Chain A
Amino acid sequence: MSPFASFLARRVLFALVLVLLVSSGSMWLVHLAPGDFATQLRGPGVSADAVQRERERLGLDRPLVEQYGQWLVGLVRLDLGTSYRFGRPVNELVGVRAKNTAVLAATALFVATVVGIPLGVIAGSSPAGALVSTIRGVSVLGMSLPPLLTSLLLALFAARTGWFPIGGMTSLRAVDPGLPATLVDIGWHLVLPALALALPVAATLERLLAQSMRETLDEPFILAALARGIPRRRVVWRHALRVAIRPVAGIYGVIVGSLLSGSFAVELVTAWPGLGKLMFDALMSRDVQLVAGCAVVGSLFLACGNLLSDLGLAAADPRLREE
């Protein structure tokens, strides 16, 4: 096995362990917490008997190890069970919501990368002056604007101007307007939430890259490249960027985590029908199967982010490939 393949295999293993641990952990956490889904049903007109019957019907009275084992067997077959609260397959519920969160988070990550990386290169390679100071100032401000507050402020902006929808993912329409119109509609709703989510990430990427770029440009191999007569622009964007991007690529996995955290807040404020709200409701109603299902998908996102980060790192850093 080549060194690169073994590196990759280790990282895939880490990703699988991550998914298993996070989903199992969340499941045990909810199981061990006081009360279960059936307890919540208790109320006026619902007898203790009825609650007990419901508990037996859902299998909540059986030993935890047995319930967990059953869920694991399902997981291997990619069947996440049935939600107690909605009485529908978790796969179906989580699938729709996960797609929405993925659209939001991926758009934000894309925008943040496309804006943050070039600005970082410019700020890191230009001589100190008004341009560099401006980019840095805007970035430090952007880093200080958490998605929770930004989305609130942007919703206020939308309410005042009416230029953008305040919340939701689609407009209510009596007739299906067809695919192109629906996509435009979703895109229109996506602008503000994605902006709120992307802003601090773009700022962080810019700062990291600018910092790393400055250090890289001081290295002897840059001087050597310039001495050989390679145009400065090419040296900066090809030679230096390849090296300077490494620390940035290295934390992409953590950035995906922070994107998910941010998207939770954004989803709640802007009523974006994503994974965050579903997970929150499931946790509050002790819907174990749904919580674990959300955790599986959420940790899959994280694992993908980490794998991407490792691949990026390996692409930029030959030492990781050769060993």
Chain B
Amino acid sequence: MSDQQTEKNAQSNEPQASRLLVLWRKIALIRESRVGMLGTFLVAFWLVLSVIVPALPLFDPLQQYPCCISLPIASHGEDGGFFVLGTDDRGRDILARLVWGGRLVLFWATLSMLVAYVVGGAMGLVAGYLRGWWDVGLSFLANVLLSFPVMVMYLLVITYLGGASGVNVIFAVTFATAPAIFRIVRGLILDIRARDYVFAAQVRGEHPLRIMLVELLPNVRGPLIVDMCLRLGYTTITIALLGYLGIGLPPPAPNWGTMIADAQQFGHLGVNAMLWPALAISTLVLGLNLFADGLREVSLRD
């Protein structure tokens, strides 16, 4: 009995794997788009950097060198240290903070985007497939939440939950973006819920939950992947932005936004420390946008 079951599992796993392979091949088509490749390169640059940063020969991003406050690019420290991009107002190495900051921003952006996607996606699936009162209620909730300007939402959620912390940031991002994800998923599901294969599954007597997750969700993944890339860009901006406003991840974590806010108080002296994180976030978001553009371009072709 158990042998049979494992065999059955192995069989059902195989098409699963090949499906992932097909998806991967589709994404790999992006090399046919020049814009998409530029985006891939930029995203890969930051992704690789933030993975390997613990192994890089960098300064400690939190270490303050009182000797070396606000040094310009390519400065030598007292003890022979070399600050490639200079130091900030507390004598911390800008390059180290930049690269560690990328890791922090990417990590929290991905995490909060995924949480928002799970919440918004589940709401959209339920509303789009079950319709009826579920749809009415959830759509109204989404409309109410979408009526808040996002910044107001961030300020309210985070100050109400008790200030800057990682968990509160995830809450704020979820509140602000899950309704938009809900709308997209709901629309896509409404489009395919009357297809024959859905009807076949209903006739087979499958559980609604299974229909939603196995029949419906995989068939709307194309547009959702593009949307996820774009949304990861927005969320990256949000994480840095909340840091800039002082309601994101608490200092002294090297968040790009916090770095800009810290340096801004020092006028002329802070310009160097301000410019680098601004360039960093711009290149990362540009990369994500171009990547999404490229994906859309190649997926529209077939």
Check if A and B associate: no
